[in-house]
């Protein structure tokens, strides 16, 4: 029996490089950050060694996921340059970089566009009430700052991923307001690839004392999100945070169609190991779902990329892409 297009769920074969865990924000639910000056920066040499090991593993996406150095810090330009150089290195070795490094300036986004096929930033929630609670010590979580990033991404024609963090003190109306804001920006610029609906899942490093987001609410939330968001935006859910197999299938039935980047470790939620490809297939197939790998840039956005980026993307879009080692040599 053939699988219909409507029963395809995608994921990105990915590996995460963390330039630094240091971050000037202190979100109380965070299980990722280290204090400024307490996390060594990833070197280009160490990164190249890792990437060489990945070249024959069919990994296409290199997610550059970084803690934030304060915009006014004397180290900000060096931090940004390190991110740029890591993206450039990954691209030169035939991978497709995707950067999520917190709010950036317009000029920083413009530069990174040259070495990334897509970028991302979680909107989380627009309600300012969280600035009194979980975001009390997180200056870059101002809703207007994060909305500005989505606006600039559209102006710069950067294929973009954003999303909501669920269960951090917001209410249902906040969900709909945040989703409507994403829809509004997309209708202006048509640049949002995916919206992630990420349930809060308590980890061992956080100080936020709250229960995990109720998974029973997720399918209905996805169903309503699908009604609010334009049809060309894909809804993504992280399968390692939806522990019940039946609820994962229910989320897909409700309208989710992507499982995000699947790699060795979920850096944002290190207490929740990624389900790997074979395990996901075993969960999905009885429900009639086919798991299909995708690139970190959707086909409709290929024309937004530079000619150099498009060349490597086209190689990956071939049914049998060349080994990355050949792409690196330009053969």
For the segment 209-229, the average pLDDT, to the nearest whole number, is: 95
| Residue-level pLDDT at 215 | 86
How sure is the predictor about 219, in pLDDT bands with cuts at 50, 70 and 90? Answer: very high
* Cβ contact 12:296 at 8 Å: yes
For the segment 132-138, the average pLDDT, to the nearest whole number, is: 97
Residue 80 structure tokens:
């940004």
Query: How confident is the model over 11-47, as pLDDT tens digits?
Result: 999 999 999 999 999 999 999 999 999 999 999 999 9
Q: Quick one: 15 exposed, middle or buried, by C-beta within 10 A (0-12, 13-18, 19+)?
A: buried
Q: How far is 37 from 79, CA to CA, in rounded Å?
A: 12
Q: Which residues 6+ apart lie within 8 Å of 50 measured at CB?
A: 15, 17
For the segment 275-298, the average pLDDT, to the nearest whole number, is: 94
Q: How far is 179 from 175, CA to CA, in rounded Å?
A: 6
Q: What percent of the chain has pLDDT over 90?
A: 89
| Residue-level pLDDT at 330 | 37
| Residue-level pLDDT at 317 | 94
More confident of the two residues 276 and 66: 66
- pTM, two decimals, is 0.94
Query: How confident is the model over 80-120, as pLDDT tens digits?
Result: 999 999 999 999 999 999 999 999 999 999 999 999 999 99
Residue 325 has pLDDT above 50, yes or no: no
- The pLDDT mean for the chain works out to 93
| Residue-level pLDDT at 58 | 87
| Residue-level pLDDT at 244 | 83
How sure is the predictor about 245, in pLDDT bands with cuts at 50, 70 and 90? Answer: confident
User: Sign of the CA dihedral 182, 186, 191, 194?
Assistant: positive
| Residue-level pLDDT at 165 | 98
Domains of the chain: 5-316 (3.20.20.70)
Query: How confident is the model over 157-181, as pLDDT tens digits?
Result: 999 999 999 999 999 999 999 999 9
Q: From 241, 237, 245, select the one nearest 213 (Cα to Cα).
A: 241
| Residue-level pLDDT at 331 | 34
Angle 291-295-301 (CA atoms, 0-180°, nearest 5)?
125
* Cβ contact 73:20 at 8 Å: no
| Residue-level pLDDT at 25 | 97
Task: Count CB atoms within 10 A of the CB of residue 200.
Answer: 21
Q: How far is 110 from 86, CA to CA, in rounded Å?
A: 16
Q: How far is 3 from 290, CA to CA, in rounded Å?
A: 7
| Residue-level pLDDT at 318 | 86
| Residue-level pLDDT at 326 | 40
Task: Count CB atoms within 10 A of the CB of residue 78.
Answer: 11
Q: How far is 310 from 315, CA to CA, in rounded Å?
A: 9
How sure is the predictor about 5, in pLDDT bands with cuts at 50, 70 and 90? Answer: low
């Amino acid at each position: 029996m053939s699988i219909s297009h409507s029963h395809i769920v995608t994921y990105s074969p990915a590996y995460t490089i963390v330039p630094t865990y240091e971050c000037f924000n202190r979100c109380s639910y965070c299980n990722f950050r280290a204090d400024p000056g307490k996390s060594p920066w990833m070197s280009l040499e160490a990164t190249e060694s890792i990437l060489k090991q990945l070249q024959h593993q069919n990994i296409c996406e290199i997610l550059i996921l970084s803690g934030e150095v304060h915009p006014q810090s004397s180290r900000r330009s060096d931090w940004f340059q390190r991110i740029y150089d890591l993206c450039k290195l990954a691209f030169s070795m035939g991978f497709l970089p995707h950067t999520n490094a917190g709010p950036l300036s317009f000029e920083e986004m413009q530069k990174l566009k040259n070495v990334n096929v897509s970028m991302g930033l979680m909107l989380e929630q627009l309600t300012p009430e969280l600035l009194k609670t979980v975001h009390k010590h997180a200056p870059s979580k101002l809703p207007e700052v994060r909305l500005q990033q989505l606006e600039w991404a559209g102006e710069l024609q950067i294929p973009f991923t954003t999303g909501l963090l669920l269960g951090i003190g917001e209410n249902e109306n906040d969900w709909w307001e945040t989703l409507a804001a994403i829809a509004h920006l997309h209708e202006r610029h048509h640049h949002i690839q995916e919206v992630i609906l990420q349930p809060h899942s308590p980890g061992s490093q956080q100080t936020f004392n709250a229960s995990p987001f109720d998974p029973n609410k997720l399918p209905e939330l996805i169903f309503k999100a699908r009604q609010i968001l334009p049809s060309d935006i894909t809804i993504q859910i992280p399968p390692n945070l939806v522990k019940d197999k039946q609820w994962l299938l229910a989320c897909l039935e409700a309208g989710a169609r992507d499982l995000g980047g699947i790699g060795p470790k979920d850096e944002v939620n290190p207490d929740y190991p990624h389900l790997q490809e074979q395990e996901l297939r075993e969960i999905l197939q009885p429900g009639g779902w086919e798991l299909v790998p995708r690139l970190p840039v959707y086909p409709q956005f290929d024309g937004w990329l530079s000619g150099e980026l498009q060349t490597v993307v086209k190689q990956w879009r071939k049914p049998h892409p060349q080994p990355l080692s050949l792409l690196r040599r330009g053969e």
